[in-house]
Structure 1
Amino acid sequence: MIKIVVTENSPVQFKKNWKFCVGTGRLGLALQKEYLEHLKIVKDAIGFEYIRGHGLLHDDIGIYREIEIDGEIRPFYNFTYIDRIFDAYLELGIRPFVEIGFMPKLLASGDQTIFEWKGNVTPPKNYEKWSDLVKAVVSHFVERYGLEEVLKWPFEIWNEPNLVNFWKDADKQEYFKLYKVTANAVKAVHPDLQVGGPAICGGADEWIVEFLEFCDIEKVPVDFVSRHAYTSKKPKKITFDYYYQDLVENTAMLAEFEKVRGLIDQSAFPHLPLHITEYNTSYSPINPVHDTVLNAAYLARILSEGADYVDSFSYWTFSDVFEELGVPKAQFHGGFGLIALNGIPKPTFHLFSFFNSLGEEQLYRDENTLITRRRDGSIALVAWNLVMDKGTGFEKEVEFELPVSFNEVFVKRQTVDENHANPWRTWQEMGRPRFPDKTSVETLRQVAKPLVRTSRMKSVGGKVTYRATLTKNEVTLMEFIPVKDETDTYIGLDDSLITSY
């Protein structure tokens, strides 16, 4: 039995930096009906403030085109689709965290692409035209949405240029040139617009050191640093349908956050915000771990402690409407999303919604628990029991002693574990239908809901004691709410007159 005693000693603010931003597949997917349906579900339940995705300048959005006038080739900027996309975001109450990339085909210096949808990853063949394009796009945003609004949008330049897949030859000096030209183009529209980078993935933190040295020496504007973080090892097996990897301990991600924060602190720009603009367990969109309860339990500690080091960390991604490896081939396929196809919430969706229910005051935290108090005095806590070993069992008994300012306590407990809110398991029991019929989809939606248990307790001496058993990979939200008892207002109330009661 683990006993946790919470006192009133020095509560601190619970920073909700985990909900600042969420990732999406390429922006062109926002033209799909199901994508927007999923985004509304996520926004309503979790409240992410920003959304970040690839492909702003990809040809499926169609911003950059060229036309011939009197024998001269001139650029033509078409904002039809990007207006439709950003309008939809803002109508849902979520702002764009703008990633500038990839290269329009007509401006590209080469034909190297990435993903099924062929995002071009080569430098511009004409940096002047590239600069003009960036200025035109950002100016259009200001004209359409107003300067006050667009000043709130971060502009991140490119995506993972330290990888040859995402930037031709992973050419660092060429990226620095791209960054300088692009950042200056953004600032030319208005000097207070936010620009940053280098948006690298893990394993190349020397890029951050050299990037900040470059910005210092060349007097290049930089308002934030961005990086990505994943905790999967090299693949054990790759098939047509799946990509299998083991995970390192989740503390490794927190250590990466802390390391990068330290590198920034030691630079010429020690006060720059650090945004983790992508993170997850696996970096593959066909790794089944994303569909599991383990994924939720594993990430709980990241949500709990990540804000100690970073200003935001953006889960990759909110939806399985995602096409980097082509159109998804099955209902559950290891996609990054918090929501599976057909609007089915995954366990990690509930992890985020549970954290969104937490209060503003942090009363207690350890590696498996986060306890908070809301403004109304109610207590909300999230506890988890991460188990990375195979097999059954692994239950954990926990007793919570919590301070409350009310005599009667209504307790509501919501649970996600291997047997509850685990539609992936139900899908397996169905025989893993690739494209389930409507009846099966409805079943999956039904089982995707957390187990809800309620009770009523009395506090003793300003405290309430609650015991809970946490099963393997369980994530649970417990809320301790004051009871406003109106039983005495009912005339003639007598439950003993009800048959069987």
Structure 2
Amino acid sequence: MTTIQVNKESDGIFPDNWKKCIGTGRLGLALQQEYLEHLKTVQQEIGFSYIRGHGLLHDDIGIYREVEVDGEKKPFYNFTYIDRIFDSFLELNLKPFIEIGFMPKLLASDDQTIFAWEGNVTPPNDYHKWESLIKAVTQHFIDRYGLEEVLTWPFEIWNEPNLVNFWKDADKEEYFRLYQVTVNAIKSVDPAIEVGGPAICGGSDEWIKDFLTFCKNENVPVDFVSRHAYTSRPPHKVTADYYYQELAEPDKMLHEFKNVRQMIKESEYSDLPFHITEYNTSYSPINPVHDTTLNAAYLAKILSEGGDYVDSFSYWTFSDVFEELDVPKAQFHGGFGLMGLGHVRKPTYHLFAFFNRLGSKLLYRDDQVIVTEKEDGSMVLIAWNLVMEKGEEFNRSVDIHLPLGEGKYFASSQTISETYANPWKVWQQMGRPRFPTKAQVETLKQSAIPLFESAQYDVMGEGLTLDLSLTKNEVKLIEIEAVKDESETYPGLDDSLIDSY
């Protein structure tokens, strides 16, 4: 049994950096109906500020084309699809966190690609044409959306160039050249546009040191540093459908956040913003852990503490409408998404929705509890019981004493666990239908609703103690507010006259 005493006089602040940005698959997916339906719900119930995805310059968006004029090939820039996509984002109060990449085929220096949708990961075959393309894209955004708006959009150069799969040969010097040409092209349109990188992934933080040293030595602009973070170890089994990995403890990710923040502080750019533009447990879009309650309980500490070290951290991704390894092969396939196919909310979706209920005043926080206060004086807390060991009996008991004044209080709770709001388990019980019927999808949606409970408490001056018993991988949201009792305004009210009451 753990006992927690919450201090009303705490002056801590809980930042909302956890919801500053959300990830998406390639931008072309935004032309699909289900994708937009998922995004609309996510914005209504969580409400992120920015969205980041791959493929701005991929051929399915069609920005870069070449036409023949008088026997000469000349660039032609087509913004039809990207305008439609960015319009959709902005209508949902999402600003683009722009990732510059991948390479249009007509500008590519080689044929190396990544993903089923063949994102080209090679340098440009003509840096002058690349420079002209970047200027044209940047200027178009300003022409369409206005300079004031575009100045709020960060421009990140490339994606994970320290990995050979994402940048030919993981050539650091070539990436620095790409960065220099690209940032100078963007800044030539307007020097106030924010540009940064290097968007690395894995344990290559020396890349960040070298990147900042390069920017300093070559007088290349840099307005923010970006990195990715995943905590899965190398796979111990890979099948046609699934990718199985063990996870490190959540502290590993927080340590990476903290380590890079310290690295920035010790550099010539000590005040630069630091963005985690991708993070999750596993980096594979077919790892079943993403569908589980474990994933939610695991990430609770990341959401609770990550904002202490980074200016934003972007969960990868909001939806299972995602095609890095081709079209998803089943209802639950280990996809990154908060939202599963068919509009089925996964456990991690509810984790984010729970955190969206928290107040901005931080009253208490530890490894498995966060307690906050809202401006109206109501208290909101989240408690979780992360269990990474196999087995069933890992319950955890905790008493939380809240400093409430005398009076009546209404308390409500929502719970996700291995039993509640676990559609993955229900899908297993159904026999794992790859392509469930409409009726089965409706059943999964019903099974994805958190357990709701409520009570009224009469506090007599000593505050309120909540006795919680959390089951394996349970995450519980509790909201407490003062009761304004209006029962006396109902003449003749007498519930005892109702049969059974």
TM-score above 0.5? yes
Preserved contact between residue 400 and residue 465 of structure 1 (Cα < 8 Å): yes
In the other structure, the counterpart of 2:414 is 414
1:232 matched to 2:194:
no
Q: Summarize the alignment of residues 73-222 of structure 1 with structure 2, pairs less than 5 Å apart.
A: 73-222=73-222
1 CA distance for matches of 2:409 and 2:99? 47
Preserved contact between residue 406 and residue 461 of structure 2 (Cα < 8 Å): no
- Which range moves more in the overlay, 69-78 or 98-107? 69-78
In the other structure, the counterpart of 1:459 is 459
Q: CA deviation at 1:393?
A: 1.3
In the other structure, the counterpart of 2:398 is 398
Listed one character per residue, the Cα deviations across residues 15-45 of structure 1 (whole Å, up to 9, x for unaligned) are 1100000000000000000000000111111
Q: CA deviation at 1:400?
A: 1.1
CA RMSD of the aligned region, Å? Answer: 0.7
Listed one character per residue, the Cα deviations across residues 314-358 of structure 1 (whole Å, up to 9, x for unaligned) are 000000000000000000000000000000000000000000000
In the other structure, the counterpart of 2:242 is 242
Q: CA deviation at 1:236?
A: 0.7
2 CA distance for matches of 1:463 and 1:14? 23
Corresponding residue SS for 1:82: helix
Q: Which runs of 4+ in 1 moved over 6 A?
A: none
Preserved contact between residue 405 and residue 461 of structure 2 (Cα < 8 Å): no
1 CA distance for matches of 2:164 and 2:360? 43
In the other structure, the counterpart of 1:21 is 21
1:33 matched to 2:19:
no
Aligned length: 501
Q: CA deviation at 1:460?
A: 2.6
In the other structure, the counterpart of 2:310 is 310
Q: CA deviation at 1:55?
A: 0.1
1 CA distance for matches of 2:448 and 2:230? 26
In the other structure, the counterpart of 1:328 is 328
Q: CA deviation at 1:405?
A: 4.3
Q: Which amino acid aligns with 1:408?
A: K
2 CA distance for matches of 1:7 and 1:288? 40
- Which range moves more in the overlay, 465-474 or 446-455? 465-474
2 CA distance for matches of 1:95 and 1:338? 19
Corresponding residue SS for 1:476: strand
Preserved contact between residue 404 and residue 461 of structure 2 (Cα < 8 Å): no
Structure 1 unaligned residues grouped into runs of 5+: none
Q: Which amino acid aligns with 2:494?
A: D
Identity of aligned residues (%): 67
Q: Summarize the alignment of residues 253-402 of structure 1 with structure 2, pairs less than 5 Å apart.
A: 253-402=253-402
Preserved contact between residue 58 and residue 101 of structure 2 (Cα < 8 Å): yes
- Which range moves more in the overlay, 3-12 or 477-486? 3-12
- Which range moves more in the overlay, 429-438 or 6-15? 6-15
1 CA distance for matches of 2:484 and 2:261? 46
1 CA distance for matches of 2:11 and 2:474? 26
Preserved contact between residue 20 and residue 312 of structure 2 (Cα < 8 Å): yes
Preserved contact between residue 10 and residue 362 of structure 2 (Cα < 8 Å): no
Q: Which amino acid aligns with 1:145?
A: Y
Preserved contact between residue 406 and residue 460 of structure 2 (Cα < 8 Å): no
TM-score (norm 2): 0.99
Q: CA deviation at 1:276?
A: 0.3
1 CA distance for matches of 2:162 and 2:121? 12
Q: CA deviation at 1:9?
A: 3.4
Q: Summarize the alignment of residues 474-485 of structure 1 with structure 2, pairs less than 5 Å apart.
A: 474-485=474-485
Listed one character per residue, the Cα deviations across residues 185-224 of structure 1 (whole Å, up to 9, x for unaligned) are 1111111000000000021111000000000010101000
Listed one character per residue, the Cα deviations across residues 432-462 of structure 1 (whole Å, up to 9, x for unaligned) are 0000001100000001010000000012326
Listed one character per residue, the Cα deviations across residues 377-415 of structure 1 (whole Å, up to 9, x for unaligned) are 000001100000111111111111112246110000100
Q: Which amino acid aligns with 1:21?
A: C
Corresponding residue SS for 1:246: coil
2 CA distance for matches of 1:476 and 1:172? 45
- Residues 325/406 of structure 1: CA separation in 2 closer, same or farther (3 Å cut): farther
Corresponding residue SS for 1:305: helix
Preserved contact between residue 64 and residue 75 of structure 2 (Cα < 8 Å): yes
Preserved contact between residue 379 and residue 404 of structure 1 (Cα < 8 Å): no
2 CA distance for matches of 1:7 and 1:356? 22
Preserved contact between residue 377 and residue 405 of structure 1 (Cα < 8 Å): no
Preserved contact between residue 347 and residue 421 of structure 2 (Cα < 8 Å): yes
1 CA distance for matches of 2:370 and 2:460? 23
2 CA distance for matches of 1:254 and 1:316? 16
- Which range moves more in the overlay, 98-107 or 401-410? 401-410
TM-score (norm 1): 0.99
Preserved contact between residue 378 and residue 481 of structure 2 (Cα < 8 Å): yes
